[in-house]
Amino acid sequence: MNKLLIVGTVAFDAIETPFGKTDKILGGAATFIGLSASFFDVDSAIVSVVGEDFPQEYLDLLSDRGIDISGIEIVKGGKTFFWSGRYHNDLNSRDTLVTELNVLADFQPKVPVGYQDADVVMLGNLHPMVQISVLDQMTEKPKLVVLDTMNFWMDCALPELHQVMKRVDVITINDEEARQLSGEYSLVKAAAKIHTMGPKYVVIKKGEHGALLFQGKEIFFAPALPLEEVFDPTGAGDTFAGGFSGFIAQSENISFGNMKNAIIHGSNLASFCVEKFGTERMLVLEKEEVYDRLKQFRALTQFDIELE
């Protein structure tokens, strides 16, 4: 089986939506990416850090899904990264209420020896210097490196972000971030500028409005599945990234045509994530449900106009 290396946060989240609120629950970019990628035939490992307060049962949830957690450092006496946020009524925007970096402040990632030759590396949202450190530890050039990042790093670590962007094949960011990074309002122009910063493939996530994949002049679009109710968007972008990178790692095919399929798989898995709080839905999701919803994606998007 091919190997997928995931770096990102493993964390506590506390979430408020118009539908309710949670206490501290399992969260973090690497958690969502790992759970999502576990729906593919791939060996995966998470590189992250937690405090001594992090419950063993949460770690078990990950290893039960076949994820190698030997790269998750547990800091004695340390406290786990904690994020709390409140979503507005439209669920498209949110306020961050609390960010406690805790053990994340001094995080030095250590890639397990068995994953220093991973086929695909998924750099989840973290400080660009941490992402670079992971790439520096690879003994073989991965077939594909995927970078997820956010506006926070554009504001406070832009030179480092540019450094890591030069070393990745794919970047995934949302539409506002693409505009901020490029200075262009048109997403077509934004993607063209971001190409020149390094990534050959640019994925722009538009939340409920779907996702765009750019490679030069080629464009592919996947809608988000129209849902009766979006319950909690937390982790949807990471779940998308996990489905994308997990499928690519499984299929070992990095053609543009196969990236289209990867975008569909990512969108499909993300459509489940938002149905419940945090990781709740992903933890009970069955492969059969995933397969059935792929058929819905096909019905949603495929047409049969005959063209030469």
Interaction site with a copy of itself (CB under 8 A)? 89-90, 185-189, 206, 209-210, 212, 218-223, 226-230, 257, 260-261, 263-265, 291, 294-295, 298-305, 307
Torsion angle of C-alpha atoms 282, 288, 289, 291, degrees rounded to 10: 110
Contacts of 193 (CB under 8 A, 6+ apart): 181, 182, 183, 184
210 Rama class: left (phi>0) / alpha (psi -120 to 50) / beta: left
The residue (of 20 and 55) whose beta carbon lies closer to a copy of itself is 20
Of 4, 5, 22, the C-alpha closest to 13 is 22
Beta carbon of residue 81, minimum distance to a copy of itself (angstroms, whole number): 32
Beta carbon of residue 254, minimum distance to a copy of itself (angstroms, whole number): 15
Q: Side chain identity at 94, as an amino acid letter? A: R
The residue (of 76 and 303) whose beta carbon lies closer to a copy of itself is 303
Instruction: Point out which residues pair with 43 in neighbouring strands.
Output: 3
In total, the chain counts a number of residues equal to 308
Given a contact cutoff of 8 angstroms between Cβ atoms, the answer to whether 188 and 182 are in contact is no
The residue (of 10 and 264) whose beta carbon lies closer to a copy of itself is 264
The residue (of 18 and 55) whose beta carbon lies closer to a copy of itself is 18
CA angle 242, 246, 250 (to 5 degrees): 175
The residue (of 126 and 178) whose beta carbon lies closer to a copy of itself is 178
Beta carbon of residue 188, minimum distance to a copy of itself (angstroms, whole number): 5
Distance CA 238, CA 217 (A): 26
Catalytic residues: 238
Beta carbon of residue 261, minimum distance to a copy of itself (angstroms, whole number): 5
Distance CA 112, CA 46 (A): 9
Tokens 């490679």 sit on residue:
215
Beta carbon of residue 200, minimum distance to a copy of itself (angstroms, whole number): 18
The residue (of 150 and 290) whose beta carbon lies closer to a copy of itself is 290
Check residue 304 and report its DSSP letter.
Answer: -
Q: Three-state SS for 15?
A: strand
Of 1, 7, 305, 53, the C-alpha closest to 149 is 7
Of 98, 99, 86, the C-alpha closest to 233 is 86
